[in-house]
Amino acid sequence: MTTPSNPENLIAVLRTVFGFAHFRANQEAVCRAAIAGRDLLLVMPTGAGKSLCYQLPALVLGGTALVISPLISLMEDQAAKLAALGLRVARIHSGMERGASRQACIDYLQGNLQFLFIAPERLRVPGFAEMLAKGKLALIAIDEAHCISQWGHDFRPDYRMLGQYLPDLRGGAPVLALTATATPSVQADILQQLGMVKPERFIHGFRRENLAIEVVEVPVPERPRAICGLLGDERRRPAIVYAPSRKLAERLAEELSVSIPAAAYHAGLDAATRERVQTAFQAGELEVVVATIAFGMGIDKADIRTVIHAGLPSTLEGYYQEIGRAGRDGALSRTYLMHSYADQRTHDFFLNRDYPPVGHLEQVFRALGEEPRAVDELRGASKLGEEEFDKALEKLEIHGGARVDFGGNVTSGGTGWKKTYAVQAKYRAEQFEKVLQFTTSNECRMAALVRHFGDVADASRACGICDACDPAGAVLRLFRRATAAERALALAITGELRQVDYKATGTLQRALDPAGKLNRKEFDGLLDAMVRARLIEMEDAEYEKDGEVRRFRKVRLTKEGMELRPGPVVELLIGDGMVEEFGGRVALGATKKSSTAARKSAKKLEAGPARLSEEGDAVAARLKEWRATEAKRLGVPAYLVMHDRTLTALALARPANPKQLLEIVGMGPAKVEKFGGAILGLCKP
């Protein structure tokens, strides 16, 4: 397909190539800046149409758009969509055969491509950057540009080195950096690292109007049951569940797959399996994916209704990007963030692993010199463990203390790495502190995220649908009405604050409860309820004493709180765990029937393995053999064909007809239609 190369044909290309009658908000201004040859940084929410902002200008300008992308799944998804439009596209990454990559280079040099997607590490291959410099580039697009910044939530060392290649590559082509998540400090770092020339900044709309966020304290052992309960309702699917570990991702996927098409996705799976899971989810064959953070960057699925975090993320930027995968069709979607004190211990472990002691880095640095040495040789001679050595070398390379070439040989770098390493380690710890503050905050969840990204003006507007704004509308989080004693204490709090500008929460509690009858958690819960009722406002503050920074929370009255006097009862809703349906206490007004159903559901989930007769064992053996064959034929894990609990139940009941099959947990209508005949045959004596 050929396309017009006149800037005035912008709308024509939008309609004829992409099939859109109009631009989405802010897209046209970005496209026109790119066509005018301006370098630019675009920060735009997930689902707002960032990709079009480099694709359309590339077609109008002519030549080849070089798109640098950090994930194979991301570039495969975008390349497939462009190819489906009849455009000439190629990609080069580690998952491709050498012949296909060589042909892509030939097509590029002959001017036959409109888009060439590459992974950033390809630029380190000897001669590759020089080859690219020989072609005619329309523009260079760097997707997921936050990966460039050492302050970004998903920093990639290979992305950090892009700036050194751009001067020779670009010629007169503009450079476009695109991301959905970048705080002001990350934005500044991206511009500096890429050496952009008088760049334009387009920072748009961090607010997502249709995402209802709930943050709920859930003990780790109760999370699988709560997640199964939430996603048991088909209206909450499709869904993505983010798990903090591969092991938990596998376990949750197994739990869910008893009754829901679900699968795990993480870096420990082979590339073919990951591709199958992603494709099946995109096509609607899987309704839930339980993943580590690697999943979702290449997903363009508009109807995701729910995103659940089964543990605390390490940064608010990562969290925002992950919840942003829900509700891209504009319909109301809910996100659930589960947390407890145990998450802090987990993150401390990962922080210590990812940021080893300076002494480890010094050991590796002392072993380096001007003469290249193989990584394997250095690792073998080191007193550090294999993982400790690799992590220390990685950090040395990032901070300039080591240089690693594409062949795996290392030479010594500069000596200034200690300072920057210490700064980054401290920064990472502070990022998690901000996540903890987000979980304990009682302000609007969306407003807090918008403020984090630097949009202070928009942060003054509450979303109206999160658990802080609309506690009565919360699904997982349980609220109860304040008791008479709690309402009386709330009135006393307003009286105490009326005399001052603000008080620290600890000082306020000691003034009103000198005997210490109310514990700190209960007092904080009442303060949270008063914030939701707009009677008080709170903010984090700090002071320095004896060289140590100490943090506290300020409490002050609002206009409504100032006017509060004894008389009409003010309704206060206090957070009280999660509802019994999902594993917690009974919600106010819950029926006996729903409570009984929840207990039965729990009993079913926790039931141990049934004892089989000799005949049942024979049926189970036949079913297992059949399941293995089907799994191999379909190219999916065995539990996706049939979960162990379902297999045992079949061997125990030995159904004789489709109606009896449907009574087995895990055998829904779709499975009965697909496998019913074979299963009934295997269950016969």
- pLDDT tens for 53-85 read 999 999 999 899 999 988 777 788 888 889 989
Is the CB of residue 558 less than 8 Å from the CB of residue 462?
Answer: no
Handedness of CA 586, 590, 596, 598 (dihedral sign): negative
Say if residue 103's pLDDT is above 90: yes
Per the CB < 8 A criterion, the answer to whether 208 and 71 are in contact is: no
Residue 405's pLDDT band, with cuts at 50, 70 and 90, is confident
Please check the confidence at residue 592 and state whether its pLDDT lies above 70.
no
* pLDDT exceeds cutoff 50 at 599: no
Tell whether the model's pLDDT for residue 640 goes beyond 80: no
DSSP output for 247-296: HHHHHHHHHHTTTS-EEEE-TTS-HHHHHHHHHHHHHTS-SEEEE-TTSS
So what's the pLDDT on residue 18? Answer: 87
- What token pair was written down for 542? 């700090």
* CA 664/CA 654 separation, integer angstroms: 10
- What pTM was estimated for this model as a whole? 0.66
> Which pLDDT score, from 0 to 100, does residue 337 have?
96
pLDDT for res 154 = 63
Measure the N-to-C terminal CA separation of the chain; round to a whole number of Å. Answer: 62
Q: What is the pLDDT of residues 563-573, one digit of tens each?
A: 887 766 677 88
Contact criterion met (CB below 8 Å) for 55 and 85: no
The percentage of residues in the chain with a pLDDT greater than 70, rounded to a whole number, is 90
pLDDT at 470: 85
DSSP state of 585: B
584 has a pLDDT exceeding 60: no
Give phi and psi for 214, each to the nearest 5.
-120, 135
Q: What is the pLDDT, as a whole number, of residue 2?
A: 45
Between 265-279, 516-530, 662-676, the lowest mean confidence (pLDDT) is in 662-676
Query: What pLDDT is stored for residue 573 in this prediction?
Result: 82
Identify the helix (H) or strand (E) that includes residue 678: helix 669-683
Please provide the size of the chain in residues.
685
DSSP assignment of 46-93 equals: TTS-TTHHHHHHHHHH-SEEEEE-S-HHHHHHHHHHHHHTT--EEEE-
| pLDDT(577) > 50 | yes
Task: Give the per-residue pLDDT at 152.
Answer: 64
Q: CB-based burial of residue 177 (10 Å sphere; 0-12 exposed, 13-18 middle, 19+ buried)? A: buried
Lay out the sheet containing 536-545: strands in order across: 503-504, 548-557, 536-545
Mean pLDDT within 581-590: 48
| Mean pLDDT of all residues belonging to the chain | 84
Structure token pair of residue 145 = 């540009």
- Residue-range domains of the chain with CATH: 7-203 (3.40.50.300), 211-344+443-472 (3.40.50.300), 355-427 (1.10.10.10), 483-571 (1.10.10.10), 614-683 (1.10.150.80)
Q: Do residues 162 and 120 make contact, with C-beta atoms less than 8 angstroms apart? A: yes
